[in-house]
Amino acid sequence: MFKEMSKNIVKLTLVSAFVLFFSGCNSMPGDEPPVAEKAEDAKPAEEKKENLVWDAGAVQLEYHKLAPGVYAYYPTDAQEKNPKGYPVATAGGFVVGDNEVLVVESMVNKRLTDQVLGFVKEVTDKPIRYLVNTSYHGDHSYGNYVFPKSVSIIQHRKTKEFMDNKEGFEADKKFMVQYFGANRGIEDVVARTADIVLEDGARYEIDLGNKKVEILHFGFAQTEGDLFIWVPEDKVFWTGNPVVAQPPALPWLLDGKHEEVLATLKKVREFLPEDAMVVPGHGVPIQPKDIDFKIRYLETLHQEVKSAVEQGMTLKEAQKTITLPDFQGYALFGWVHTQVNVPSTYKELSE
C-alpha cells in the first residue's frame, strides 16, 4: 500500500507541475521543476477556472459512427485542438452487438458519463453489458459508478488495486477536483472497480452478438494496467492515454519506464493493420502510422539522454541540451518533454 501511495504522490507532484506550467503556458519552462507545495497554496479551482486543464463542468462530447455498430466519442473541441497540440478531455466509444453493448471509458464525472449513456440510448435500446477502463486515471474510470449495476466492469488487476486503495483513491479524487474543477461532481465519485479482472498479457474476447471485441494487455504503456480494445471485424482500436492524440502530442512518462513504453508501442504498432482506425485517449480517431511519431520520439529521447549521461552531463544540462526540434509543437512540450520525460529517462539511464 505504501508503494501505491508514494507513487500516487509522485503522480500528484508531476501533475501539479503540469498545471502550474500549463497555466503559465506562454512562457518557457524554467530549469527548476515547479513543486507541489506551490499548487497547494493556490486558490480553489473554482476561483481560477482559467487554470483548469479542462473543465469537467463545461466539456461537451460528441459521437461518431466508425463502422456498423462501432462508435467513438470525443470532446467537441478535439477536431480543432488536436492538430494544434492542445490538450482536450477524454475520448472513448462503444460497440453494439445483436444482444448487448460494450462501452470504452466512463469519463470523470456523472455529467459526462450521462452524455455517454445518452449516446448509447440514441443509437440502440440494447442493454450495456460491459464497461472497459483503459487505466485507473480518473478521467477514464470515475464514471463507472453511474453505470447500471447489471454492467460488468473490466479492468487490469493493477487498475483495480489502485482504485480499491481507499486512501490512494481519495487523494486521487482531490487532485482531480483541483485540476478538472470543484463542484463539478468529481467529489461525488465512488470507486467502482472490476467484476472481470485481466492479467498481464491478457487477450480477452467478448461476443456481443455477431460482434466480437478483444481486450488486450500489451505491457507497460503508461501505467501498470493499460488495456487496449480491438474490434477485429471493423479494425477499430482504442488506446487510452498511451497514445494521447495525433502528433504533435507526446507520450507522458508519468511512471517512467521509457524502454517498456517504447517496446509496448512497437507491439501495438505491429499488431495494427495499416487501415485500422485508432481512437486515442484524448482526441479524434487517427491512423496507425500516427503512432510512429511517438515511437521515433521515444527512440530519439533514449539515444539523446543516453549520450548525455555518457558525456557526464547533469540532469539540468541534459534538460537544456535535449530540445528535440523535430518533435516540438505539442502545447505541453516544455512540461511533458523537459520536466517529465527527460528527467525520468535520465534517472533510468544513470542508474
Where on the chain is the footprint of Zn ion (CB under 5 A)?
137, 139, 241, 281
Cell of 40: 497547494
Position 40, amino acid? E
- Rounded to the nearest whole angstrom, what is the least distance from the CB of residue 308 to Zn ion in the complex? 30
Residue 100 CB, shortest distance to Zn ion, in Å, is 26
d(CA 61, CA 77): 9
The candidate with the shortest Cα–Cα distance to 163, out of 88, 116, 224, 239, is 224
- Which one, 241 or 338, has the nearer CB to Zn ion? 241
Which lies closer to Zn ion via its Cβ, residue 139 or residue 161? Answer: 139
Nearer to Zn ion, 249 or 272 (CB): 249
Any idea which residue has 500500500 for its cell? 1
What is the Cα Rg of the chain in Å? Answer: 19
In the complex, what is the shortest distance from the CB of residue 2 to Zn ion, in angstroms, rounded to a whole number?
Answer: 26
Nine-digit cell string for 349: 539511464
What's the rounded Cα separation, in Å, for the pair 237 and 228?
7
Give least dist CB 325 to Zn ion, A: 27
Cβ contacts of residue 136 below 8 Å, gap of 6+? 155, 158, 159, 162, 163, 172, 223, 225
State which residue, 105 or 234, has the beta carbon closest to Zn ion: 105
Nearer to Zn ion, 97 or 251 (CB): 251
Which residues make beta-bridge pairs with 19?
none
Cβ proximity to Zn ion: between 94 and 180 the closer is 180
Indicate the residue among 135 and 338 with the shorter CB distance to Zn ion.
Answer: 135
Side chain identity, residue 13: T
> Residue 202 corresponds to which cell in the numbers above?
491478457
CB of 209 to Zn ion, least distance (A): 30
Residue whose CB is less far from Zn ion, 139 or 226 = 139
Question: Which residues of 141-276 form beta strands (DSSP E)?
Answer: 152-156, 196-198, 203-207, 212-216, 228-231, 236-240
Closest approach, Cβ 310 to Zn ion, in A, equals 35
CA distance 120 to 128: 8
Q: What are phi and psi of 72, to 5 degrees?
A: -110, 145
Closest distance between Zn ion and the C-beta of residue 244, in Å? 7
How near is the Cβ of 290 to Zn ion at its closest, in Å? Answer: 17
Question: How far is the C-alpha of 321 from the C-alpha of 284, rounded, in Å?
Answer: 33
